[in-house]
Amino acid sequence: MEIRPLESWSEYRACERLQRSVWGEGFTELVPASILEITQRLGGVCSGAFDETGGLVGFVYGLTGLEDGRPIHWSHMLGVRSEQRGRGTGRALKRHQRERIESLGIGRCYWTYDPLMSANANINLNHFLVEVVEYVEDMYGDTGSSLHEGLGTDRFVVAWTLGPGAPDPFDPDEPARAARQAELERHAGAPVVRPGAAAEGDLPRKPAVRIAIPADILGVRTSDPAAALHWRTATRRAFQHYLAADYRVAGFLPPTAGAAEGHYVLVKEDRT
């Protein structure tokens, strides 16, 4: 597999088709070929993963801009064909993106993911070692994608710090990884917030809490749409409450084999 920037109009068009393949034909937030090309001309990233036949099987797209006068990068989309998933393609695209923006001297990279997606929580928090910056309610509105139907588009905004001295999420021996895992283990017995009385009434006021999410929210949505929506509203309230009260997301305890849920661990920050 080759990973490199898109180079031709036909490759930008192939990226349009890949977006529809990933998010569905009704997806209204598709980034057109002309914008993909212009973004790359202006310091953004639009790169693809190509198989041995030269076919586009994955892509990553992000924009570069300013935040408080400093250059930052916003990673807007990453998509991989269904038959290519689970082979490390997304991870390789993310590494390529990080290397490209670091070469430009950019010190901060943001992206988003759905807090109810346990696989995404695991890879972002435990493998990519991101920091959760913000919870945004219905961030993208109605996208027309079947992937978002029935749950809305609530998102965590997460961030990487880049450059010398920053944790390297692609180094298996990165000390920050061991430190994060140790913190998760310390708080593995913290009280759990689930849909029901705790999520709808008073939330626990402890030094650390766990917020439960389903192991497979898309499966819940298929079998019981009302329950899936209840998970959304309950976790939204809990995350917004704790983040506003100076808790930080320390990491994610993924579901064990056969378990029905995983747990975010949130720890109260000492602001004194």
pLDDT of residue 25: 86
Q: What pairs with residue 4 in β-bridges?
A: 48
- Cα–Cα distance for residue pair 23/195, rounded to 1 Å: 28
- Length, in residues, of the chain: 272
What integer is the mean pLDDT of 2-10?
96
> Tell me: the pLDDT tens digits for 154-206?
999 999 999 889 999 999 899 999 999 999 999 999 999 988 755 556 788 89
- Cα–Cα distance for residue pair 111/159, rounded to 1 Å: 7
pLDDT of residue 144: 60
> Tell me: the pLDDT tens digits for 233-246?
999 999 999 999 99
**What phi and psi values does residue 59 have, to the nearest 5 degrees?**
-155, 160
pLDDT for 57 beyond 80 = yes
pLDDT of residue 83: 87
Does residue 85 or residue 46 have the better pLDDT? 46
The answer to whether residues 251 and 184 touch, using CB atoms and an 8 Å cutoff, is yes
pLDDT of residue 159: 97
Q: If pLDDT is split at 50, 70 and 90, which confidence band does 151 have?
A: confident
What integer is the mean pLDDT of 251-267?
94
pLDDT for 251 beyond 90 = yes
pLDDT for 22 beyond 70 = yes
3-state secondary structure of 168: coil
**What phi and psi values does residue 29 have, to the nearest 5 degrees?**
-100, 20
In the chain, the percentage of residues whose pLDDT exceeds 70 is 94
pLDDT of residue 87: 87
pLDDT for 148 beyond 70 = no
pLDDT of residue 24: 87
> Tell me: the pLDDT tens digits for 118-140?
999 999 999 999 999 999 999 98
What integer is the mean pLDDT of 46-73?
95
The answer to whether residues 60 and 94 touch, using CB atoms and an 8 Å cutoff, is yes
What value does the mean pLDDT of the chain take?
92
pLDDT for 99 beyond 90 = yes
In the chain, the percentage of residues whose pLDDT exceeds 90 is 81
- Cα–Cα distance for residue pair 263/267, rounded to 1 Å: 13
The answer to whether residues 269 and 198 touch, using CB atoms and an 8 Å cutoff, is no
Does residue 154 or residue 86 have the better pLDDT? 154
Tell me the pairing of strands 208-214 and 192-193.
parallel
